[in-house]
Amino acid sequence: ISVYSETQVSDLADAGPFIFLVDDPDNEHIRALLKAPERNWGWLASIRKGDLPTLTQHWRERLIIGTRPNQAMYRFHDNRVLTRALEHLPEEARPEYLGPTVSTCYWQGASWEVAHNSAPGEYALPADPIWLNIPAPASQSMEMLQSNIYRYLWAEHSDDLMRLSQHQDPSTWLSEQLSQAQKWGWSAPEQVHFLIINKLNETEPTII
C-alpha cells in the first residue's frame, strides 16, 4: 500500500513509502534487505491479522506536520527517525505513536532492536504529539530537510528540475544550496524556500 496515496501529497505516491505485508519471511527480497540494514530502507512491524488498513491510516494521519505554509512530511518510515522517537518516548506514549503495531524490529545504526507496544490499537492524533518535540541530530535534520525539499521540487517544479538534471545532479545541487543557506544563517522555512526557488530559476544549462 502506498502511504501517500489518498493524502494531500498523493502526487508523490509512486515514490513511496510503501507498506508491504510479508507472508514469507524466507523471500529472497526480504533476506536481501535484512543483510543490508545500513541502507536504512525502513523497519519491520508485527500487526494483528486484518490490521494493515488500520496501520496505513494511522501513519497517514501522522504524515503531515506543521501548519501552512510551514508544513513538512514526518518520515516515520525512516528507521533512524523511528529509532530516535523510541529512544525518547516514555513507555506510556508508545501506543499513540505505534498505533496497531504490536512490536517493531528496526536497525538503530549498530544492531537490530525490538520494541513492544503495550496497548496496540487505534488512536487519534494528539494535539501536540510528543514525538515531534524530540530534537533530531543536525545531520539527520539536514537529510530529512533535503529529502522533503527534493520531493517538493519534483512535485511542484518538475520542469525546472528536469532542466537542471541535464547538466548537473539535482541532489548534489540541492545539497550545495542548503549548505549555502547554513553559511548565511538562513534556517527559517520561508528563507530556505526563497533561496532554493530563486537559485533554481537562475540555473541555466551550460552552452556547448
CA distances from 194 to 21, 95, 189, 200 (A): 41, 39, 9, 10
Residues 57-93 as b/e (b if ≥16 CB within 10 A, e otherwise) read bbbbebbeeeeeeeeebbbbbbbbbbbbbbeebeeee
End-to-end Cα distance, the chain:
45
Kindly report the pTM of this predicted structure. 0.66
Calpha distance 145→199 (Å, rounded)? 17
Q: What pLDDT digit, counting tens, does each position of 43-86 carry?
A: 999 999 999 999 999 999 999 988 777 788 899 999 999 999 99
Q: What pLDDT digit, counting tens, does each position of 150-202 carry?
A: 888 988 898 998 998 888 888 889 989 998 988 898 878 888 889 999 998 88
Reference 44, options 30, 58, 56; nearest CA is: 30
Handedness of CA 54, 82, 85, 14 (dihedral sign): negative
Count the neighbouring beta carbons within 10 Å of the beta carbon of residue 140: 16
pLDDT score of 48 = 96
Residue 10 pLDDT more than 60?
yes
Calpha distance 101→112 (Å, rounded)? 17
